[in-house]
Chains A and B, each alone.
Chain A
């Protein structure tokens, strides 16, 4: 009888020690998660900031000015534009036309 008691006592002690250490671990991990969450929030903010920054660097005003002043470009007009027909679209429309005329026949 006393042997069983002793074993149970040891089991209780071991389990309570385990409980303490698990609780500690939980809190430690939780703190780590929280820290990571804060970091992710910070990075998301940073991402937004950089996105806005990128947009600010690529505004139409800046692009226009750079193109004109640094690259000596000018506004395109239809006179200096060559218009080409998309061969794929033309083939598709031709095929459709052929099919339509085939049905008509």
Chain B
């Protein structure tokens, strides 16, 4: 009882239960709290670092893993002829590349691959080792069907990408005009080079998000639209071009010549309808190309224009009143001396009327007329019609030719230039110069691009003078002239031959010739000027009238027919226009 009462007075101390007394020291709990707090602070710090301080780096790393930039390829412009026929166009083809570090193929697959690609093992290894660890070209610009077979092998680490290859349907006939591109789609020659800027497109790009399977799922950022290259429409008529090429090719082969060129100009617009050279090349197979094949001779080769200069001198004489149409020029005895140097006619005549000077191509007659003029007058004439001037045709390699300033001319030079020696020009320049007669006294600027408007000309002679000279040119290409073979069926023609020893070093080669012919048709209202040149005809026949004039004739006839020009000469028709009644058959 006593015990109970004591306990009631003292009471029980609940606050300090021995059960509640912690067995561990209290600093440990504080330590844990501090640690957890510290952990959170660390995380916060890291979060701040990631989100604020070094955010850019992490954003970039993230983007790298899902964002991709897709190239959107642009297309190189096409090259068309005047009627819209393709002369060059780009076609997408697969190119095969590999990731060398990923590449693996069992031996039989590898053999099949090498067989398809027509490669030996050594070459393949070399290709594989040629790039980095992540990229090596195996074969560029492969046939699509071949790629389909390669793809079917399912080789690891082998991929395709699309590249553009250039196709040239007209092949060798237009090769010099169109030119070609290299494997990187950069123009190397011809129009492909001259109009590289306009033809080439600009590749576009767009940012996208790809999922794990490689599907594009979202656009991000700014897309750059690709811009395709511009189409270029040339003045060339593929039909005329082809025909001109065929004819000059035949002539070169027939006369075993070294080369030949043809230029066809539209008189009204100054457009180049055809510009063909032989030898030529196939733009699709360029592995064994020689410089001779590549040369666009009609534009790059210069030579002395020879007798084709004579009509200009006669025309200037008529224009300035230094000669008259009815003048009889004394050409006896077939030679004359200027500053101690003899000038000769190949076929001497006692005297010639003015038209006959051109018809018979008399050097002496022409020199007599030219010596009545001032050097300055002649120089102005020559440069007005384009001699010594660079043709404005935005075509690479077009040469200027040579025409010396008149102040340095000696009398003998004034004399020889009158019949075409001592100055030089390309075939295109000669053809262009003849537009002065074809256009009634105006010379027209030539163009390689299609023109829809007649081009303005630069007046050099009066229309009357031009018409008179045209008549002389018609005589030269007629019976009794130097080039009767220039006659075309159904169309009146006129023109002038030229034949010259080729220049070699400082002199002339005795057995190498160049033959050419420049003319126009129809003669009353010329529509085209055609110039033909054959280099080094090798079969003994070498006169322009025999070698170049027949080509002129055929090209004129075909071109005018293609241009729908009605014949201006009577032709004995070989067509039967009425159905003949048939005899009733008996049986």
Interface residues of A (CB under 8 A from B): 26-27, 30-31, 34, 45, 48-49, 51-52, 55-56, 59-61, 64, 75-83
Known A30-B217, A59-B171, A64-B246; further 17 A-B contacts with Cβ < 8 A: A27-B217, A31-B216, A34-B208, A45-B91, A48-B75, A48-B89, A48-B90, A51-B89, A55-B86, A60-B170, A60-B238, A64-B242, A78-B567, A79-B489, A79-B574, A81-B561, A83-B567
Instruction: Specify the chain A residue showing the minimal Cβ separation from B241.
Output: A60
From B215, B490, B557, contact of A34 by CB (8 A): B215
Is B558's CB within 8 Å of the partner chain A? yes
A26 to B238 alpha-carbon distance, docked (Å): 51
Question: Using Cβ atoms and an 8 Å threshold, which residues of chain B touch A60?
Answer: 170, 173, 238-239, 242-243
Asked if A78 and B571 sit within 8 Å, CB to CB, the answer is yes
A75 to B571 alpha-carbon distance, docked (Å): 16
A60 to B208 alpha-carbon distance, docked (Å): 47
The answer to whether residues A61 and B162 also contact, given A31-B216, A78-B571 and a CB cut-off of 8 A, is no
Instruction: Specify the chain A residue showing the minimal Cβ separation from B490.
Output: A78
Asked if A49 and B171 sit within 8 Å, CB to CB, the answer is no
A27 to B574 alpha-carbon distance, docked (Å): 74
Question: Using Cβ atoms and an 8 Å threshold, which residues of chain A touch B489?
Answer: 77-79
Question: Using Cβ atoms and an 8 Å threshold, which residues of chain A touch B215?
Answer: 31, 34
What is the minimal beta-carbon distance from A71 to any residue of chain B, in angstroms?
Answer: 18
Closest 3 CB pairs of A and B: A78-B490, A60-B242, A45-B92
Asked if B89 and A52 sit within 8 Å, CB to CB, the answer is yes
Q: How would residues 76 to 111 of chain B score, 1 for a CB under 8 Å from any chain A CB and 0 otherwise?
A: 000000000110011110000000000000000000
Question: Using Cβ atoms and an 8 Å threshold, which residues of chain A touch B208?
Answer: 34
A55 to B86 alpha-carbon distance, docked (Å): 7
Question: Using Cβ atoms and an 8 Å threshold, which residues of chain A touch B91?
Answer: 45, 48-49, 52
Asked if A31 and B217 sit within 8 Å, CB to CB, the answer is yes
Q: How would residues 534 to 562 of chain B score, 1 for a CB under 8 Å from any chain A CB and 0 otherwise?
A: 00000000000000000000000110010
What is the minimal beta-carbon distance from A103 to any residue of chain B, in angstroms?
Answer: 28
Is B28's CB within 8 Å of the partner chain A? no
A83 to B487 alpha-carbon distance, docked (Å): 21
From B211, B238, B557, B572, contact of A27 by CB (8 A): B211
Q: Scan residues 237-278 of chain B and give those whose CB is less than 8 A from a CB of chain A.
A: 238-239, 242-243, 246
Asked if B573 and A82 sit within 8 Å, CB to CB, the answer is yes
What is the minimal beta-carbon distance from A47 to any residue of chain B, in angstroms?
Answer: 10
Is B348's CB within 8 Å of the partner chain A? no
Question: Using Cβ atoms and an 8 Å threshold, which residues of chain B touch A80?
Answer: 573-575
Instruction: Specify the chain B residue showing the minimal Cβ separation from A78.
Output: B490
From A51, A55, A61, contact of B242 by CB (8 A): A61
What is the minimal beta-carbon distance from A45 to any residue of chain B, in angstroms?
Answer: 4
Asked if B169 and A81 sit within 8 Å, CB to CB, the answer is no
Question: Using Cβ atoms and an 8 Å threshold, which residues of chain B touch A59?
Answer: 169-171, 242
What is the minimal beta-carbon distance from B199 to any residue of chain A, in angstroms?
Answer: 15
A77 to B173 alpha-carbon distance, docked (Å): 23
A61 to B217 alpha-carbon distance, docked (Å): 50
Instruction: Specify the chain B residue showing the minimal Cβ separation from A57.
Output: B169
Question: Using Cβ atoms and an 8 Å threshold, which residues of chain B touch A64?
Answer: 242, 246
A82 to B170 alpha-carbon distance, docked (Å): 31
What is the minimal beta-carbon distance from B568 to any residue of chain A, in angstroms?
Answer: 10
Is B123's CB within 8 Å of the partner chain A? no
Is B566's CB within 8 Å of the partner chain A? yes
Is B377's CB within 8 Å of the partner chain A? no
Is B54's CB within 8 Å of the partner chain A? no
Is B167's CB within 8 Å of the partner chain A? yes
The answer to whether residues A78 and B167 also contact, given A30-B219, A48-B91, A55-B85 and a CB cut-off of 8 A, is no
Name 14 interchain pairs, CB-CB below 8 A, sorted by A: A27-B218, A30-B216, A31-B211, A34-B208, A56-B169, A59-B171, A61-B171, A75-B558, A77-B571, A78-B491, A78-B569, A81-B575, A82-B573, A82-B577
Asked if B490 and A61 sit within 8 Å, CB to CB, the answer is no
Asked if A79 and B573 sit within 8 Å, CB to CB, the answer is yes
Asked if A79 and B242 sit within 8 Å, CB to CB, the answer is no
From B85, B89, B144, B490, contact of A79 by CB (8 A): B490
Asked if B173 and A61 sit within 8 Å, CB to CB, the answer is yes
Asked if B571 and A79 sit within 8 Å, CB to CB, the answer is yes
A52 to B165 alpha-carbon distance, docked (Å): 11
Question: Using Cβ atoms and an 8 Å threshold, which residues of chain A touch B92?
Answer: 45, 48-49
Question: Using Cβ atoms and an 8 Å threshold, which residues of chain B touch A78?
Answer: 489-491, 557, 561, 567, 569, 571
What is the minimal beta-carbon distance from A102 to any residue of chain B, in angstroms?
Answer: 29
A81 to B168 alpha-carbon distance, docked (Å): 33
Instruction: Specify the chain A residue showing the minimal Cβ separation from B569.
Output: A78
